Amino acid sequence: MDHGAAYPYRLDPLAPTFGNRRSQAIAAAVCGAVALALWLRGPWTLSDADTIALEVILPGALAFVLAFAPSPATLANRIAKDLVVVWTALAVFAGDGIVLMLVAVPAVLALAVALARTRVAGSWWGAPP
């Protein structure tokens, strides 16, 4: 299937962006956030294992994986990807409020669209790698 030149998405296979400096920096920040959240919750008991796994480890692992997701073709989507990764990384500190953070994801996506219209967005996110 041939998509015209106006089609914004590449037809390349999806591959992780392990070599991208921004992805590496965001992934390192995610690891730091998880380590800090684990330290703040200490000392642990065996009964805390489920809570820690669900509220810290799983959101942290999701944010780490998303940090290396392929960069989207459009500016608003690149901004949304980074904001969702940071939002997910912040969820490790939310505790039971993580449900409210999930409900607020549409607001984060709306923020990405609003940021895409600013001059800062072009200089910060620029063209896709």
DSSP string across 16-62: --TT-HHHHHHHHHHHHHHHHHHHHHPSP-GGGHHHHIIIIIHHHHH
How does residue 44 score in pLDDT terms, banded at 50, 70 and 90? confident
Q: Give the tens place of pLDDT for each residue, 87-105.
A: 999 999 998 899 899 899 9
Task: Indicate the burial class of 107 (C-beta count within 10 angstroms; 0-12, 13-18, 19 or more).
Answer: exposed
Return the pLDDT at 57.
95
- Give this prediction's pTM: 0.83
Q: With a cut of 70, say whether residue 113 has pLDDT above it.
A: yes
- Specify whether the CB–CB gap between 60 and 34 falls below 8 A: yes
The whole-number average pLDDT for the span 47-72 is 93
Q: Taking the alpha carbons of 93, 96, 102, 103 in that order, is the dihedral positive or negative? A: negative
Residue with more model confidence, 22 or 129: 22
